[in-house]
Amino acid sequence: MKKIIKNGTIVTAADTYTGDILIEDGIISGIGLKLEAPGAEIIDASGCYVFPGGIDPHTHLDMPFGGTVTADDFESGTIAAAYGGTTTVIDFCLTAKGQPLQQAVDTWHHKSQDRAVIDYSFHLMVSELNDKVLEELPQIIEQEGITSLKVFMAYKNTFQADDGVLYKTLQAAKREGALVMVHAENGDVIEYLVDQALAAGHTDPVYHALTRPPELEGEATGRAAYLTGLTDSQLYVVHVTCAEAAWKIAEARKKGLRVYGETCPQYLALDQSALEKPDFEGAKYVWSPPLREQWNQEVLWDALWSGTLQTIGSDQCSFNFKGQKELGLGDFSKIPNGGPTIEDRFSILYSEGVEKGRITLNKFVDIIATASARLFGLFPQKGTIAIGSDADLVIFDPAAVRILSAETHHMKVDYNAFEGMEVKGEPVSVLSRGEFVIRDKVFVGAAGKGKYLHRKRFEAEAPRPAQAEISGGVV
Ligand SMILES: NC(=O)NCCC(=O)O
Ligand SMILES: [Zn+2]
Ligand SMILES: [Zn+2]
């Protein structure tokens, strides 16, 4: 059925204007003034912004980690994402050493295909890079449309790969047109610091942050950037938390390297002091890399504004406080790392960014959707409002004011990391390929309606580093 969204303020990464959007067969087929189409359902968006649906480039749904499994799976996680204004997620498919890549990908298809309520895709973790993996990789990239590869430089003895694996992954990515993503922390030194802290009897959650200092994130980020230059490849640094890492990315981009970066809402809105909350509550705020001293927040905002960082990922990786975070009672190193963020990513960026004058409306759209679409091979199908693009749209009321809380969120987890935070603006209705998923704040979608997205290879369409974009930034 045709739909026309009327009288909204349409916002893309480039433009802001009042107009109507015609939707046919899930695609935007017209944009104009006073549009009409016989039989079309009319949706009034007066007083609201119409944004392209958010793209969350970093989620962990139904993921085994830290001796347990995330509380949110592809159903609850994508419902919460949709409530929050996100219409596409790209989740991390884990692999184990010796496991055929196709088997790992099939496991992730199995977790997601009958559950997701919005469209989704996968990044592929690379844990080793031997001849078998090298042989299978081109096939996976071509047939599955998985054009981004993830290497962990931390989590020693579980996910961590060595520099040789990272180097060879960058080489393979250059050959195959894939983007290499890194969790950039020096896992070897962290392991040593954690052992020292525990031996000294330091078991509280705050020691998670104290044993992962920003220098170790900056060092790993710089190392990965150097290897990217050496291989003439392309790199995306996930969850950048601090000045030390942002500076390394800025330096690499100044040299003209294809190095990109993401931060997350928790690093923009929370700080290290949260880990000191009494009664083990600090465990709710255990992420890796950890929350940093508050002054880093403005550095990250500057880096987003200047283009040193391009995207915001939720890094959704939720664990209940009761029974899951509590696995680390008496030993901070056993607290499952991660938190529930998928639902509030969009609103926090809008409220803390646009409403507080740190970024413009168009920059907001770029960070929340367009840049990820370009970097991860989804543009222009996703990430913008244009004729021919999927009708993934968010009707957003900028006047709404609400308080984020576990009592009202839709994630299947017993706390909200941003509990009590006031945000301005709210997604009222959300459409995925022209169908309502959220209508007037009520979920009307269905599990299994989300489609798996084959993505294009990394190409020149991705935003290029430019001297101008960093001159006013963090360097
Ligand atoms: N970030 C975090 O603490 N948990 C999720 C896994 C990861 O991204 O490192
Ligand atoms: Zn990570
Ligand atoms: Zn993550």
365-420, pLDDT tens digit by residue?
999 999 999 999 999 999 999 999 999 999 999 999 999 999 999 999 999 999 99
Q: What is the DSSP letter of 66?
A: T
For helices 131-144 and 163-176, angle between their N-to-C axes, nearest 10 degrees: 40
User: Whole-angstrom Cα distance, residue 376 to residue 35?
Assistant: 33
Residue 471 host element (H or E):
helix 467-471
Name the closest ligand to CA 315: 3
Distance 69 CA to ligand 2 centre (A): 16
Using alpha carbons, list the distances in angstroms from residue 82 to 9, 54, 60, 252, 437. Answer: 20, 9, 16, 35, 7
Per-residue pLDDT at 116 exceeds 50: yes
Please tell me the predicted confidence (pLDDT) of residue 67.
94
Q: pLDDT band at 459, cuts 50/70/90?
A: confident
Residue 22 host element (H or E):
strand 16-24
Distance 153 CA to ligand 1 centre (A): 12
What is the residue type of 333?
A: S
**293 Cβ contact partners less than 8 Å away, ≥ 6 residues apart:** 271, 272
What is the residue type of 246?
A: A
- Is the minimum distance from the CB of 167 to ligand 1 under 6 angstroms? no
Per-residue pLDDT at 323 exceeds 80: yes
**373 Cβ contact partners less than 8 Å away, ≥ 6 residues apart:** 55, 379, 380, 381, 382, 383, 384
* Mean pLDDT, rounded, of the chain: 96
- Is the minimum distance from the CB of 315 to ligand 1 under 6 angstroms? yes
Please tell me the predicted confidence (pLDDT) of residue 464.
59
User: Whole-angstrom Cα distance, residue 379 to residue 373?
Assistant: 5
User: Whole-angstrom Cα distance, residue 87 to residue 100?
Assistant: 30
Per-residue pLDDT at 309 exceeds 70: yes
55-375: CATH class: alpha beta
Q: pLDDT band at 204, cuts 50/70/90?
A: very high
Please tell me the predicted confidence (pLDDT) of residue 463.
56
Distance 183 CA to ligand 3 centre (A): 8
Per-residue pLDDT at 424 exceeds 60: yes
Please tell me the predicted confidence (pLDDT) of residue 1.
86
Q: What are the structure tokens assigned to 50, written together?
A: 């119409």
Instruction: State pTM to two decimals.
Output: 0.97
Please tell me the predicted confidence (pLDDT) of residue 36.
97
Per-residue pLDDT at 460 exceeds 60: no
Per-residue pLDDT at 445 exceeds 70: yes
What is the residue type of 55?
A: I
Q: pLDDT band at 470, cuts 50/70/90?
A: very low
What are φ and ψ of residue 168, in 5° steps?
-70, -30
Q: What are the structure tokens assigned to 42, written together?
A: 């009319």
Per-residue pLDDT at 58 exceeds 70: yes
Q: pLDDT band at 466, cuts 50/70/90?
A: low
> Within 10 A of 139 (CB to CB), how many other CB atoms are there?
11
Please tell me the predicted confidence (pLDDT) of residue 465.
61
- Say if residue 414 is exposed, middle or buried (CB neighbours under 10 Å; 0-12, 13-18, 19+): middle
Please tell me the predicted confidence (pLDDT) of residue 467.
45
**260 Cβ contact partners less than 8 Å away, ≥ 6 residues apart:** 179, 234, 235, 236, 237, 249, 309, 310, 311, 375, 462, 463
What is the residue type of 166?
A: L
User: Whole-angstrom Cα distance, residue 385 to residue 380?
Assistant: 9
Please tell me the predicted confidence (pLDDT) of residue 474.
39
Per-residue pLDDT at 217 exceeds 70: yes
Q: pLDDT tens digit string along 46-57? A: 999 999 999 999
First to last CA, the chain: 51
Pocket perturbation via mutation, ligand 1, pick of 262, 292, 317, 324 by most ligand atoms within 8 A of CB: 317
- Is the minimum distance from the CB of 317 to ligand 1 under 6 angstroms? yes
Q: Which of 140, 136, 167, 135 is nearest to 151 (CA)?
A: 167
Tokens 């963090």 correspond to 474
Point out the ligand 1 atom lying closest to the alpha carbon of residue 154: 9
Please tell me the predicted confidence (pLDDT) of residue 461.
47
| Structural contact between residues 276 and 447, judged by C-beta atoms closer than 8 angstroms | no
